[in-house]
């Protein structure tokens, strides 16, 4: 039984999803959950991108103790230096170094000849090994590279000290058969390949990322890369939860396993969906809400008689629980703290007290408090970065009638401490609120997306709002929950605006591999 190492890039490749911009607190919360899940390598970011990203990677490197933390770097000394500054404090400093090797990338993006790319790759790995005990080399767009040239590059970087070699299907172009053969070719034609691990990194442009990854494992890959929920640029990355469960269910075929705690899958999925604002489709494999639902009469009959007739994955395997929280209006702080710890959250005293007050306030308004409600309260503690002054909502009031134009009146506290009040109209209540907020905040604010859903069931369910805005050419997402849908909508819009405040403009390219 081979062990397959899991490399998670949710915090780097996943965060490059348009509209997703996590703050440091949110990134640390996700990193701690990935560690709890049992991820072997957590790619925490791209340190050279900005001071904010460097600091986030550094804080994650300090926090995570049982997973290796890495950061992305181009084949530039300045990138490697920035990564070392961020990662030198980690338990096992590891660098992820990337340069493109396909003809189209070398010609049009790098504007380098193959010999120049080879020389740059070797020099960068040698320089990185002066600092990092572990260096992973990625040949961007490997699946569209000339295999003979790629083999030459891989042999050279391994000779220069690369510990892991990654062969990405950067644009999701390969088929499973082709991608598996790529790994077989390198294992056969790279003389020193036994001195490094081979890794697979697949994108889902043609819907084959998971299939390609499993094909790579079958062909000899020892590490696989992806994201939770398959998030990422364009069509996203391979879904790590699907790969892990496939290896578990079909252990007889793949003869491979991971060290993941599969019971943490659902919580990991929920946390990342909540903090990124990227909903999981209902019919998604493993973590979708319909993954274990059976509507067909013949399916229901079969499951009632014997679950394995239509369920090859049990809900319990991935941490789906049907139990309800027993906390309620008369529950005390100690019981609440115990529940928080059981749900995997680590809060200091101030944060715990704040969450408990929110919980007690909710029990006064809501008859049945569920685990989802508690989860929402706890994730809502992760808001805009505290070191950035922000807009605060004082009040929102909407006048609406079927025969009247909706009018919203809003009061805010501005980042410089001034109280602002204004009113505006709109075709509907939410538009009236957003027109008012846009006028008060100023600048060019464009609403790109607006989503509203309930947390749980019932007329007293919490409403969760998510918005994506573009403000002065900076795209940002915001989220908020409240029992009132209009207040949730207003707070989500302000959260998105606040996340643009003090945000550094990033001129450097966002690497895709």
pLDDT in tens, 63-91: 999 999 999 999 999 999 999 999 999 99
* φ/ψ of residue 455, rounded to 5: -95, 105
Taken in order 77, 82, 88, 92, is the CA torsion positive or negative? negative
Instruction: List C-alpha distances in Å: 387 to 25, 393, 498, 505.
Output: 11, 18, 11, 18
Whether 324 has a pLDDT exceeding 60, the answer reads no
Residue ranges of domains in the chain: 2-256, 333-379, 392-500
Residues ≥6 apart with Cβ < 8 Å to 507: none
More confident residue, 143 or 294: 143
Mean pLDDT (whole number) for 277-304 = 74
Q: Helix (H, G, I), strand (E, B), or coil: what is residue 408?
A: strand
pLDDT band at 508 (very low <50, low <70, confident <90, very high): very low
Q: What average pLDDT does range 9-37 have in this prediction?
A: 93
Please report which confidence band the pLDDT of residue 323 belongs to, taking 50, 70 and 90 as the band edges.
low
pLDDT-above-70 percentage for the chain: 92
Using pLDDT thresholds of 50, 70 and 90, give the confidence band for residue 479: very high
Q: At what angle do helices 240-249 and 209-219 cross, to 10 degrees?
A: 50
Min mean pLDDT across 51-55, 103-107, 501-505 is at 501-505
Contacts of 249 (CB under 8 A, 6+ apart): 312, 313
User: Residue 512 has what pLDDT?
Assistant: 73
Q: Which of 283, 268, 245 has the alpha carbon at shortest distance from 10?
A: 268
Of the candidates 456, 500, 503, 510, the one whose C-alpha atom is nearest the C-alpha of residue 478 is 500
- What span, in angstroms and rounded, lies between the C-alpha atoms of 164 and 200? 10
Residue 300 has pLDDT above 60, yes or no: no
Q: If pLDDT is split at 50, 70 and 90, which confidence band does 306 have?
A: low
Q: Does the reported pTM lie above 0.85? A: yes
For residue range 95-134, what is the model confidence (pLDDT) as tens digits?
A: 999 999 999 999 999 999 999 999 999 999 999 999 999 9
Q: Could you tell me if 318 and 265 are in contact, meaning their C-beta atoms sit under 8 angstroms apart?
A: yes
Q: How many residues does the chain have?
A: 513
> Which tokens hold the place of 59?
């804080």
Please tell me the class of the 2-256 domain: alpha beta
User: Do 2-256 and 392-500 come out as alike in CATH topology?
Assistant: no
Q: Is the pLDDT score of 296 beyond 60?
A: no
Look at residue 294 in the predicted model and tell me its pLDDT. 46
With a cut of 70, say whether residue 325 has pLDDT above it.
no
pLDDT at position 299 is 45
CB 150 within 8 A of CB 142: yes
CB atoms within 10 A of CB 175: 15
pLDDT of 326 higher than 70? no
Residue 42 · residue 72 · CB < 8 Å: no
**Residue (of 5, 7, 26, 4) closest to 15 by Cα position:** 26
CATH C-level class of 392-500: alpha beta
Long-range contacts of 423-430 (CB under 8 A, 24+ apart): 429/398, 429/400, 429/486, 430/486, 430/489
Which of 148, 230, 221, 228 is CA-nearest to residue 179? 221
Mean pLDDT of 188-192: 98
Place of tokens 């509907």: 428
Q: What is the pLDDT of residues 394-419, one digit of tens each?
A: 999 999 999 899 999 999 999 999 99
Q: Beta 256-257 vs 392-401: how paired, if at all?
A: unpaired
HEC secondary structure over 43-84 = EEECHHHCHHHHHHHHHHHHHCCCCEEEEEEECCHHHHHHHH
CA 480/CA 322 separation, integer angstroms: 25
Whole-number Å distance between alpha carbons of 473 and 476:
10
């Amino acid at each position: 039984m081979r062990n397959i190492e899991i490399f998670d890039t949710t915090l780097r490749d996943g965060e490059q999803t348009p509209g997703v911009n996590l703050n440091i607190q949110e990134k640390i919360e996700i990193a701690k959950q990935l560690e709890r899940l049992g991820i072997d390598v957590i790619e925490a970011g791209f340190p050279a991108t900005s001071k904010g990203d460097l600091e986030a990677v550094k804080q994650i490197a300090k926090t995570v103790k049982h997973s290796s933390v890495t950061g992305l770097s181009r084949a530039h000394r300045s990138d490697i230096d920035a990564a070392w500054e961020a990662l030198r404090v980690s338990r096992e400093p590891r660098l992820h170094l990337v340069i493109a090797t396909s003809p189209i990338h070398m010609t049009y993006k790098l504007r380098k000849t193959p010999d120049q790319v080879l020389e740059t790759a070797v020099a960068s790995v040698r320089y990185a090994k002066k600092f990092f005990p572990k260096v992973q080399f990625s040949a961007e767009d490997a699946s569209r590279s000339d295999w003979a040239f790629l083999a030459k590059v891989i042999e050279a970087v391994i000779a220069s000290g690369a510990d892991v070699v990654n062969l990405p299907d950067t644009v999701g172009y390969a088929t499973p058969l082709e991608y598996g053969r790529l790994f077989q070719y390198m294992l056969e034609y790279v003389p020193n390949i036994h001195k490094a691990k081979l890794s697979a990194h697949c994108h889902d442009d043609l819907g084959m990322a998971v299939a390609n990854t499993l094909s790579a494992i079958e062909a000899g890959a020892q590490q696989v890369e992806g994201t939770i929920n398959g998030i990422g640029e364009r069509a996203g990355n391979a879904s790590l939860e699907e790969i892990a469960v496939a290896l578990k269910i079909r252990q007889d075929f793949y003869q491979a396993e991971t060290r993941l705690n599969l019971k943490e899958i659902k919580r990991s999925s929920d946390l990342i969906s909540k903090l990124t604002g990227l909903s999981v489709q209902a019919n998604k494999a493993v973590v979708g809400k319909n993954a274990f639902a059976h509507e067909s009469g013949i399916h229901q009959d079969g499951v009632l008689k014997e679950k394995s007739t239509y369920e090859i994955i049990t809900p319990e395997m991935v941490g789906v629980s049907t139990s309800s929280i027993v906390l309620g209006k008369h529950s005390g702080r100690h019981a609440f703290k115990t529940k928080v710890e059981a749900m995997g959250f680590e809060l200091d005293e101030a944060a715990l007290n704040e969450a408990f007050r929110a919980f007690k306030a909710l029990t006064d308004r809501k008859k049945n408090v569920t685990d989802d409600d508690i989860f929402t309260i706890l994730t809502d503690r992760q808001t805009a970065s505290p070191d950035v002054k922000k807009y605060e909502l004082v009040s929102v009031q909407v006048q609406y009638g079927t025969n009247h134009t909706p009018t919203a009146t809003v009061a805010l506290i501005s980042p410089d401490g001034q109280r602002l009040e204004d009113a505006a109209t709109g075709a509907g209540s939410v538009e009236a609120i957003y027109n008012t907020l846009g006028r008060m905040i100023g600048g060019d604010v464009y609403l790109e997306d607006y989503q509203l859903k309930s947390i749980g069931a019932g007329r007293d369910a919490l409403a969760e709002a998510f918005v994506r805005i573009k403000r002065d050419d900076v795209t940002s997402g915001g989220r908020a929950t409240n029992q009132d849908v209009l207040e949730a909508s207003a707070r989500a819009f302000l959260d998105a605006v606040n996340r643009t405040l003090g945000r550094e403009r990033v001129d450097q390219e966002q690497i895709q591999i």
